[in-house]
């Protein structure tokens, strides 16, 4: 088989993976607090018999996928159980798998009377889960919680230290490799009655999807052309033989 087809196939697979990421991002445009995924491209040198050929043995690939953690727009909802963050900080949530970080969203009071996510996981304060008594709850910009004018706790808000890459674990939770990689985030502001929107520009994502689709189609045509040329060469060799 013509070795030149392999880089084209690898390129097509890479573009297909990129299409999957773009489709995933577009599908989460209306997901509160969603952070878009971006592909980081790389190359891999193939093992081959004989002398390597430039351009034929160097294959493109999606090296890894990183999340863009930039700020999303805050949308006012007026619901006192909605919480949005502005800044680099994350809320800290207690789950069965351990502490997770969370960019906020619609909250509730769980069966234990604690402030929690919609999954029932307690949202942690500086001293652990926050008990919310019956009454009107107010949260100020620093995350201090008052119920009927009485202070009941303060949200634990942390940011990641430089170069730390959080990992998505589902349900809009993030896992940080080590507690040593987070610090307090006093400059992050809390907006009660607001939700952070996904940090996705739908027009830009659609444009990128069109570009990647066209590139994928061009690679398919190139693979088909190379396959036809190989077939013609084989047929010609048989005829002359």
How far from 189 is each of 76, 77, 196, CA to CA, in Å?
Answer: 14, 17, 12
> What pLDDT score was predicted for residue 44?
64
d(C-alpha 33, C-alpha 103), whole Å: 6
d(C-alpha 184, C-alpha 104), whole Å: 16
Least confidently predicted of 7-11, 15-19, 157-161, 193-197: 7-11
Estimate to the nearest angstrom the gap between the alpha carbon of 65 and the chain centroid. Answer: 8
- Whether 66 has a pLDDT exceeding 90, the answer reads no
182 and 93 in one domain? yes
**Structural domain that includes position 228:** 5-69+200-240
State the DSSP H helix or E strand holding residue 146, giving kind and residue range, or none if neither: strand 144-147
189 and 167 in one domain? yes
53 and 137 in one domain? no
Residues 172-220 have pLDDT tens digits of: 899 987 777 899 999 999 999 999 999 999 999 999 999 989 988 888 8
Chain position carrying tokens 């398919």? 220
123 and 44 in one domain? no
Q: Is 67 exposed, middle or buried (0-12, 13-18, 19+ CB in 10 A)?
A: middle
159 and 95 in one domain? yes
| Closest of 88, 83, 99 to residue 186, by C-alpha | 88
192 and 78 in one domain? yes
55 and 141 in one domain? no
For the chain, the maximum distance between any two Cα atoms, rounded to a whole number of angstroms, is 96
51 and 20 in one domain? yes
Model confidence at 227, pLDDT cuts 50, 70, 90, reads confident
Q: Which residues contact 47 (CB under 8 A, 6 or more apart)?
A: none
52 and 146 in one domain? no
176 and 236 in one domain? no
Q: What is the pTM of this model?
A: 0.79
149 and 63 in one domain? no
Q: Quote the number of domains for the chain.
A: 2
- Whether 40 has a pLDDT exceeding 70, the answer reads yes
- Whether 50 has a pLDDT exceeding 70, the answer reads no
145 and 85 in one domain? yes
Residues 87-99 have pLDDT tens digits of: 999 999 999 999 9
d(C-alpha 34, C-alpha 24), whole Å: 11
């Amino acid at each position: 088989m013509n070795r030149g087809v392999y880089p084209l196939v690898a390129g097509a697979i890479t573009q297909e993976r990129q299409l999957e990421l773009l489709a995933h991002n577009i599908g989460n445009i209306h997901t509160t607090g969603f952070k878009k995924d971006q592909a980081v491209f790389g190359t891999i040198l193939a093992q081959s018999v004989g002398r390597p050929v430039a351009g034929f043995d160097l294959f493109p690939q999606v090296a890894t996928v990183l999340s863009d953690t930039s700020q999303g727009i805050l949308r006012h909802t007026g619901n006192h159980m909605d919480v949005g963050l502005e800044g680099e900080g994350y809320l800290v949530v207690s789950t069965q798998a351990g502490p997770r970080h969370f960019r906020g969203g619609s909250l509730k009071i769980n069966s234990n009377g604690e402030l929690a996510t919609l999954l029932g996981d307690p949202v942690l304060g500086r001293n652990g889960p926050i008990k919310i008594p019956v009454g009107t709850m107010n949260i100020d910009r620093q995350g201090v919680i008052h119920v009927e004018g009485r202070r009941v706790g303060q949200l634990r808000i942390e940011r990641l230290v430089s170069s730390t890459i959080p990992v998505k674990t589902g349900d809009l939770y993030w896992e940080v490799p080590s507690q040593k990689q987070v610090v307090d985030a006093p400059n992050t502001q809390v907006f009660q009655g607001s939700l952070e929107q996904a940090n996705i520009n739908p027009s830009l994502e659609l444009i990128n999807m069109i570009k990647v689709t066209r590139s994928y189609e061009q690679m398919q045509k190139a693979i088909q052309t190379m396959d036809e040329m190989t077939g013609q060469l084989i047929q010609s060799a048989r005829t002359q033989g």
